Structure 1
Amino acid sequence: MTNIINKRIKKLRSWMRENGLSAFIFPSSDPHNSEYVAEHWKSREWISGFSGSAGTAVVTLEHAALWTDSRYFIAAEKELKGTDFKLMKLRVEGTPSVAEWLGTMLSSSETAVVGLDGYVNSLDEVSVLEQELATRGNISVRTDVDPVDELWIDRPVIPDNMVHLHPLEYAGEPTSSKISRVRQCLVDNGADGLLVTALDEIAWVLNLRGSDVHCNPVFVSYLLFSPEKVTLYINNLKLSEDVKVYLSTEKIEVEEYDAIVEGLRTYRGESLLIDDRATNYLLATAAPYEKVIAGVSPIASMKAIKNKIEQEGFRAAMLRDGIAMVKFLAWLNPAVEAGNQTEISLDERLTALRAEQPKFKGISFDTIVGYEAHGAIVHYEATPESDIPVESHGLVLIDSGAQYLDGTTDITRTIALGDLTEEQCRVYTLVLKGHIQLDLCRFPAGACGSQIDALARAPMWREGYNYMHGTGHGVGSYLNVHEGPHQIRMEWRSAPLQAGMTVTNEPGLYLEGKFGVRIENTLLIVPAETTAFGDFLKFETLTLAPIDKKPIVLEMLSEEEREWLNSYHRRVYDKLSLYLDDEEKEWLRLATLPI
């Protein structure tokens, strides 16, 4: 693979010389600013070989570098080894920004030109880059070039999978109601139109789902709100007769996907709301400048608050997912002891058990099964090359989830497979304490995730430990497993936590070369009480699966923490035992005995 990457870089540099470019930037996104993208838009992975979901690759005529965050430091080091790319660790002191690095690399050039594809870079990103490069010499930016179209010979096509209806029995609110609410938000923001580019927002508003992106039930399209109509821009081949009739009934007009640029140029409303941080440069600049209002799409916040039907759907999906998890956990240790198990075989077994559950539609992200040292690689995914035997000692970290018609699941368990070290038990217990402390939290309505993040980290901080990823993210309703705008993390995120939102609770600790620990449940934010100081919120734990007790150092848990674990395990047993055979039920009884 190393030789292939270097050959691609060489061809790219020849193309750059022919087209008068000094550098080219490859982001991880697509024209819709998606976190996970269809194969057609995986240009950064194609040029660099780095397979993580987040990163930016930059190639000059003589140098190459790739920026990514702490989730991928270990994986990126391995995947970039032997290539021209140098790893740049985001948010680590001494790491230059892309603009700073380009300013240094291109300092000897009198007239440097940096290229990027304006369809996969947001207006905000391009504007900031232009400003920063202008201060570092005579460096200009071109947005109308895409070398990959020419150089990636077998580039996958834009997906054309069929779109399907998401029934009201799962969606809980008709499209007409959602459109009315969006229009009211536009009035409140002084706009009469809205460009929607985020695929999960489009799917949510229209009560439609697709399969264009691996693990994410979305479809490639745009949605344009005008004063008198709503238009879906999509490849018509993706629409069945049933979907066409549905869209017509909902008064949604349909145009071809590529017609969006013309639709923006001829927009007849007085004002059009465009999110400059999420909308790609070429679309954002296609609309008449005098009509554009910069702002955030209201749909993300609307979608994040689950209605009663969606909440019940989550509870039902978590119950079925919990049944599959218990069947897997009951199987795990005996299977490992019998031998011939690997990280991939564990992944396959868990997926097969989930697939037996009603309403299963696939996994919600690629399963992470990290045994011992691989567990310290935050977003590790076993491949035939990296797959290792799983043995009856140490820890295995399993982060997994599923898509069901009525909900999306995301759960991590770290399981003892045999003898553990004192360090493993201590680290495991610190992570569990952090998990429990966040779950116990009550907070005033309007607080944001950054204000409660420290609760999960405090037990670890006292011991000099920390983790660099976020503590929690929103979860879609048979949609993307990661959704915002709310998050629980150290970095400031101002989006308020509100009743009806789902959010994960997933602190972890990772000791490179040794092991990793993460414990994750999905939560629902619900009302707690109203006092003289206002409304307070709390968490309802949706995930149902036992937390391994074997690694716990009991003396490290407070009475409150012990009672939380015992109460949670009572609930897990009461909810799941009705659906298990006698052998599985007995395993669960032992796994949930009070400590």
Structure 2
Amino acid sequence: MIQKRLEQLRALMHREHLSAFIFPSTDPHQGEYVPDHWKGREFISGFNGSAGTAVVTMNAAALWTDSRYFLAAEEQLAGTEYQLMKLKIEGTPTIAEWLGKELQDTQSPEVGIDGMVNSASDVKALISDLRQQGGITVRTNLDPLAQIWQQRPPIPMNAVELYPLEYAGESTHDKLRRIRKALRERHADGMLMSALDDIAWTLNLRGTDVHCNPVFVSYLLITSKDVTLYIHREKLTPEVLDYLKSEGITADDYENVDKGLKGYFEYNILLDPDEVNYTLYKMVSREKVEEESPVKRMKTIKNDTEIEGFRSAMLKDGIALIKFLHWLKPAVEAGGQTEMSIDQKLTAFRSEQPLYRDISFDTIAGYQAHGAIVHYEATAETDIPLKPEGFLLLDSGAQYLDGTTDVTRTIALGPITDEQKKIYTLVLKGHIQIELCKFPSGSSGAQLDILARKDMWREGLNYLHGTGHGVGTYLNVHEGPHQIRMDWKSAPLLAGMTVTDEPGIYLAGKFGVRIENTLLITPYIKTEYGQFLQFESLTLCPIDTTPIIIEMLSPEERQWLNDYHRMVYNRLAPYLTSEEQDWLLQATKPI
């Protein structure tokens, strides 16, 4: 199937005089998760991870992805002509370097890339990089998928719904006032908003256009006087139309965003080059203010209502997790349980909770060797039975109307090896060190990241994914720009932000360990050196103590774990049956 698609693509490339074509993982809005309509990289390569870029020449094909997907990509690309390019691994060429080598004997090589699904910054960087590879040129006005993708899924047309003020905590009117103030500070008269979660947050609306992410396909154009939402009209109910009108917001057809930009009347416009796609970026004739969208950081700092919503969502999620964990081991011992069946069971427990809407991402339930595949997702072909032994890595989350959850636990289903115990304890130490951290307001997550890794590094161990990411308020489970990771990211950590804490170690072919809580950044103390911050655990779920080598934990680390477990029990016990309470009491007993 993939080979036939490559043949069709190459026939089109030949007609269009293109030497190569590049397929990203993105859509016109630069989302991490995209509607099926824009999953072109998956269509042309067969690789379904959330991150990766496929490049096809007339004679070769390659796919670049990061460490989360190395093992999965190797499996999914097997039997195709695609070569796997492992990002951040020594010796891996960049896309431009690879194309420079592959096209070195081609006369006047031209590379195609769809400007509608690539950000302005990415395309401009690619143009520069390819120019240095012997003068390779770039064409951006062709979408080959429109011609070769038979039965391509349509753009979603799901109805948009209001997000009540009782959960949002701030009106759209007040958010727009703050946005315009931020634009004035950047000497910008208006802005085009492309990021779907930014639009949903600004307008206090939600949708179901993207799997697990409650957003809707649209653009938002803000001027000093007007606001226009570009969206497919059939998605707007009479209730939503009345609401938009009451907020002074005009609705126009999604396809008319180009006309809106061409008719833009202000002197200048802010365009975030990392969010606005290249095609729309090039349409703008007015002066461009190329800066990060102010909304990106606004929504990361939660208001009091959102914070209480997170606590409420975590409570509901904790209740569901206890019911599941209480059920899990006896069910595995009885036999018949698989990675997929326990995923379904956990989702069923969550769906019983008030305000539950959906999962927040596809559950990662990896037993033993599958746990070493960082973003493993069980399928009918890979699903395996669970046995009362070894590790189960379970990374899951839910969307509740009042908050979004993300939690990982690694669970010993029975006897485990000494190696598994050591790895587990190293990961736990890294997790606890982040939880214990006190730091000056405005610190970068890159400055904190070493705390999660220092004990692993002493053993020559590491992980290549980030240690933490922001979490939205009934929005995307991955929210930035703040992160905790090795790579330098300048986004500051500030009070009111949520961030996950999820170090891990993965031994290919053996097992993986990851432990994750969602945290809230709160004030700690204020001194002559400024405001210091700390982390508050929002997640309410016991951490398995059976694999711990207690002697490897410092007294401070043991104290943190005991304190955390006491808090988990006190918060959850009133909502559980007596049998579940007894189980939780054992699961949280001091070590």
Offset at 1:441? 0.3
Equivalent residue number for residue 85 of structure 1? 82
Equivalent residue number for residue 32 of structure 1? 29
Cα shift readout 1:398-456 (whole Å, capped 9, x = no counterpart)? 00000000000000000000110000000000000000011000001111100000011
Q: Which of 168, 183, 186 is 1:186 aligned to?
A: 183
Q: Which of 339, 343, 351 is 1:343 aligned to?
A: 339
Offset at 1:126? 1.1
Equivalent residue number for residue 19 of structure 1? 16
Equivalent residue number for residue 494 of structure 1? 490
Aligned pairs for 1:48-127 within 5 A: 48-127=45-124
Are 1:171 and 2:168 an aligned pair?
yes
SS of the residue aligned with 1:526? strand
Distance 2:123 2:544 in 1: 47
Are 1:302 and 2:284 an aligned pair?
no
SS of the residue aligned with 1:292? strand
Q: Which of 259, 262, 270 is 2:259 aligned to?
A: 262
Range that drifts further, 227-236 or 136-145: 136-145
RMSD (Å), alpha carbons: 0.6
Distance 1:567 1:369 in 2: 28
Cα shift readout 1:142-181 (whole Å, capped 9, x = no counterpart)? 1000111111111000000000000000000000000000
Aligned pairs for 1:95-494 within 5 A: 95-288=92-285, 290-494=286-490
Distance 1:84 1:279 in 2: 33
Letter in 2 for 1:15: L
Identity of counterpart residues, as a percentage? 61
Distance 1:400 1:207 in 2: 26
Letter in 2 for 1:504: T
Show structure 1 runs of 5+ residues with no match.
none
Letter in 2 for 1:154: Q
Contact 1:161-1:238 at 8 Å conserved across structures: yes
Cα shift readout 1:447-487 (whole Å, capped 9, x = no counterpart)? 11000000111111111111000000000000000000100
Distance 2:482 2:132 in 1: 34
Offset at 1:45? 0.1
Cα shift readout 1:295-321 (whole Å, capped 9, x = no counterpart)? 110001000000000000000000000
Distance 1:129 1:192 in 2: 29
Offset at 1:130? 1.1
Distance 1:452 1:436 in 2: 12
Offset at 1:534? 1.0
Distance 1:141 1:446 in 2: 40
SS of the residue aligned with 1:304? coil
Offset at 1:138? 3.4
Equivalent residue number for residue 44 of structure 1? 41
Aligned pairs for 1:497-576 within 5 A: 497-576=493-572
Letter in 1 for 2:413: L
SS of the residue aligned with 1:67? strand
Range that drifts further, 175-184 or 526-535: 526-535
SS of the residue aligned with 2:299? helix
Contact 1:222-1:232 at 8 Å conserved across structures: yes
Distance 1:128 1:358 in 2: 47
Letter in 1 for 2:108: T
Distance 1:55 1:211 in 2: 24
Range that drifts further, 351-360 or 129-138: 129-138
Distance 1:384 1:58 in 2: 29
Distance 2:43 2:225 in 1: 42
Letter in 2 for 1:506: E
Letter in 1 for 2:393: L
Contact 1:32-1:278 at 8 Å conserved across structures: yes
Offset at 1:133? 1.1
Offset at 1:12? 0.7
Letter in 2 for 1:587: W
Distance 1:370 1:308 in 2: 36
Distance 2:129 2:231 in 1: 36
Distance 2:520 2:396 in 1: 18
Distance 2:482 2:149 in 1: 37
Distance 1:97 1:266 in 2: 39
Distance 2:223 2:256 in 1: 15
Cα shift readout 1:556-584 (whole Å, capped 9, x = no counterpart)? 11111111111000010000010111111
Show structure 2 runs of 5+ residues with no match.
none
Distance 2:120 2:472 in 1: 26
Offset at 1:227? 1.8
Letter in 2 for 1:138: G
Distance 1:319 1:182 in 2: 32
Offset at 1:48? 0.2
SS of the residue aligned with 2:114? coil
Distance 2:17 2:440 in 1: 56
Distance 2:117 2:553 in 1: 48
Letter in 2 for 1:461: W
Contact 1:110-1:138 at 8 Å conserved across structures: no
Please identify runs of 4+ aligned residues in structure 1 that moved more than 4 A: none
Letter in 1 for 2:542: P
Letter in 2 for 1:505: D
Cα shift readout 1:341-393 (whole Å, capped 9, x = no counterpart)? 00000100000000000000000000000000000000000000000011000
Equivalent residue number for residue 589 of structure 1? 585
Distance 1:148 1:224 in 2: 28
Distance 2:489 2:569 in 1: 36
Distance 2:274 2:394 in 1: 34
Letter in 2 for 1:401: G
Length, aligned pairs only: 591
Distance 1:567 1:128 in 2: 49
Distance 1:534 1:294 in 2: 32
Distance 1:422 1:230 in 2: 61
Distance 1:133 1:312 in 2: 49
Distance 2:452 2:140 in 1: 43
Letter in 2 for 1:59: V
Distance 1:102 1:18 in 2: 20
Distance 1:452 1:203 in 2: 31
TM-score (norm 1): 0.99
